[in-house]
A and B are shown apart, each in its own frame.
Chain A
Amino acid sequence: MSPENSVGVVASQRVRFGEVLRLRSGAELPGFELVFETYGTLNGERSNAVLVCHALSGSHHVAGYYADETDNVGWWDNLVGPGKPLDTRKFFVVGVNNLGGCYGSTGPLSINPESGKRYGSDFPLVTVEDWVAAQARLADHLGVHTWAAVIGGSLGGMQALEWSLQFPERIRHAMVIASAPKLSAQNIAFNEVARQAILSDPDFHDGYYAEHGVVPTRGLRLARMVAHITYLSDSQMAEKFGRQLRHGEHKFSYDVDFEIESYLRYQGNKFATYFDANTYLMTTKALDYFDPAYEYDGNLAAALARARASFFVASFSTDWRFAPARSREIVFALLHNRLRVVYAEIACGAGHDSFLLDDEHYHALLRAYLENIAV
């Protein structure tokens, strides 16, 4: 990354919303806080705001770095910055940590005002719809009535899609990348394995682990390991690790033999040091529940009839978690409703995680689409 097109030093902000938020589950949050970051400047017409939605483990820290943590670079820094595809000289870009997250927004680690203790598993399950409702309050706070675009990959793409349904008049372009209109049984199955890993960890304590001063590290580690397999493609794993041995020979033990084992353990261990188990559980349920067609007898086209936005939909050839066919479901439902849509199927070997890479063609597509958005 060249420093001249980085947004540079950034600082996160925090806002409190006092009004009750009624959740899809029926539960209510008396109020909540969101942490967010912004890059670029909101123009006079307030027509250049772009919301970046994060996926499972992402945060509000989308681009740039912190003054006291210069190596903590935003998770989509390769996309967002002056001269980058999501150009901060043109757009006012907003990143937000979703409700229930563990990076500072109100979530299971926050203090429950009713008990004075951390919420733990008392934090209500929030859904993609709830996230978007919370993001809309942030938009109000920032003075953004209509987003020029809402963009996200994977679970972030689901939020972009949900914006077009919940607030059709408040989003001009929905950019839905490496996403799906709902999870498949296989997707849910992987999530359930991840949840069971956490729930069965003796340190989980029914979700009140914080009160016991412990973290269900083993469960989180396993959850991340199994999920990580779904983020990579078979071919990429073969290319990166193959059957390479860690110690050059078979050890005839259950220690690490193969490099892929070492890699997964490393990813799992790293994740378990910073991510909250309750947030993880809740987020996987948000994924499972997301299904705009649910209330329309499974008819996605009927569900999307409310949408007014123009869409950019993209998938990656080797993504088997949310394969291109899943994106095409969205595309054809949009066509049914005569909505504007661009659909690109990008040849990229890196599987689901391709959406985070700065693949040249992928970024050229994003740049071209974003350049044509009038502000």
Chain B
Amino acid sequence: MTEQERRARAEQRERFDFAVIASWIPPGERVLDLGCGDGRLLRYLNETRDVTGYGVEIDDESVLRCICNGVDVLQMDIECGLSGFEDNSFDHVIISQALQTMHATERILGEMLRVAAEAVVSFPNFAYRANREAINRGHMPVSEDLPYDWFDTPNVRFFTIVDFEDLCARLGLEIRERLAFDEAGREVSDDPNLNGSLAFFRLGRPS
């Protein structure tokens, strides 16, 4: 694959990723995007759904790119919690493919549903077929959704769709919707823990 093809695929994939999240965010909402990277998701949500809000990011370069992108970014360490954010101050809190890079998983999930009534979480599914095959071959997986070598990865938590569902149950979080997609971006309904490479969850507080 040439660099150009790789970039084109990455962009296509990003659009699909953004589109899934956008489908869960009603127009005009106020959102908080944790681990917002360069802010493109927020910019996309703003441009396509008139969504306003803030991104939270720790990395210097990403913060700069957010500002270039006109995104309201707050440089803070989510690992330290969201204590400055008021209860129910957002419609949705999003954490898009960033939960696996953080240590304080339980606290972050709990905090997300304190500052918003609903949370959107996406993450790479470690139990995806290709990942299992890599492990069977004796190697840590490197794939579309887990694109890093083991010695150079920002990821610190490796978990599966069923692991995540177990944690939600333990934390008393209500799973309102779940979607899984394979590496080609096709939605997966049959055994998502095996066939899904990327998972999306819509979480709420139990009513």
Q: A336-B86, A338-B30 in contact; A331/B64 too (CB < 8 A)?
A: no
Q: Is the CB of B84 within 8 A of A331?
A: yes
Which of the candidate stretches A36-44, A165-173, A219-227, A363-371 sits at the interface with the other chain? A363-371
Q: Is the CB of B67 within 8 A of A343?
A: no
Q: Is the CB of B85 within 8 A of A343?
A: no
Q: Is the CB of B54 within 8 A of A335?
A: yes
Is A372 part of the binding interface, using a Cβ–Cβ cutoff of 8 Å? yes
Contact partners of B60 in chain A: CB under 8 A: 346-347, 361
Q: Is the CB of B67 within 8 A of A335?
A: no
Q: Is the CB of B63 within 8 A of A372?
A: no
In B79-134, which residues have CB < 8 Å from any A CB?
Answer: 84-86, 89
* Nearest A-chain residue to B73, judged by Cβ: A342
Is B184 part of the binding interface, using a Cβ–Cβ cutoff of 8 Å? no
Nearest CB on A from B56, distance (A): 9
Is B1 part of the binding interface, using a Cβ–Cβ cutoff of 8 Å? no
Is A341 part of the binding interface, using a Cβ–Cβ cutoff of 8 Å? yes
Contact partners of A335 in chain B: CB under 8 A: 54, 84-86, 89
Nearest CB on B from A323, distance (A): 14
Other-chain contact of A364, B64, B70, B74 (Cβ < 8 Å): B64
Nearest CB on A from B34, distance (A): 14
**Interface size counted on chain A using CB atoms at 8 A:** 21
Contact partners of A139 in chain B: CB under 8 A: none
Contact partners of A361 in chain B: CB under 8 A: 60, 64
Chain B contact residues, majority secondary structure: mixed
Is B76 part of the binding interface, using a Cβ–Cβ cutoff of 8 Å? yes
Contact partners of A332 in chain B: CB under 8 A: 84-86
Digit string of B10-49 for contact with A (CB within 8 Å is 1, else 0)? 0000000000000000000010000000000000000000
Is A345 part of the binding interface, using a Cβ–Cβ cutoff of 8 Å? yes
* Nearest A-chain residue to B65, judged by Cβ: A368
Other-chain contact of B76, A338, A345, A369 (Cβ < 8 Å): A345
Is B156 part of the binding interface, using a Cβ–Cβ cutoff of 8 Å? no
Is B75 part of the binding interface, using a Cβ–Cβ cutoff of 8 Å? yes
Q: Is the CB of A343 within 8 A of B74?
A: yes
Q: Is the CB of B75 within 8 A of A345?
A: yes
Nearest CB on A from B138, distance (A): 40
Q: Is the CB of A331 within 8 A of B74?
A: yes
Q: A331-B84, A332-B84, A332-B85 in contact; A368/B64 too (CB < 8 A)?
A: yes
Contact partners of B76 in chain A: CB under 8 A: 328, 343, 345
Other-chain contact of B67, A336, A342, A346 (Cβ < 8 Å): A342
* Nearest B-chain residue to A361, judged by Cβ: B60
* Nearest A-chain residue to B71, judged by Cβ: A342
Q: Most A CB atoms within 10 A — which of B30, B68, B86? A: B68
In A305-341, which residues have CB < 8 Å from any B CB?
Answer: 328, 331-332, 335-336, 338, 340-341
Is B72 part of the binding interface, using a Cβ–Cβ cutoff of 8 Å? yes
CA distance A340 to B74 in the complex (A): 11
Q: Is the CB of B85 within 8 A of A344?
A: no
Q: A331-B84, A335-B85 in contact; A365/B72 too (CB < 8 A)?
A: no
Other-chain contact of A372, B67, B74, B84 (Cβ < 8 Å): B67
Contact partners of A371 in chain B: CB under 8 A: 68
Contact partners of B84 in chain A: CB under 8 A: 328, 331-332, 335
Contact residues of A with B, CB < 8 Å? 328, 331-332, 335-336, 338, 340-347, 361, 364-365, 368-369, 371-372
Known contacts A335-B85, A341-B72, A364-B64; 10 additional CB pairs below 8 A are A328-B84, A331-B74, A342-B73, A343-B73, A343-B76, A346-B60, A365-B64, A365-B67, A368-B68, A372-B67
Q: Give me the 3 closest cross-chain CB pairs, A-B, nearest first.
A: A332-B84, A368-B67, A343-B74
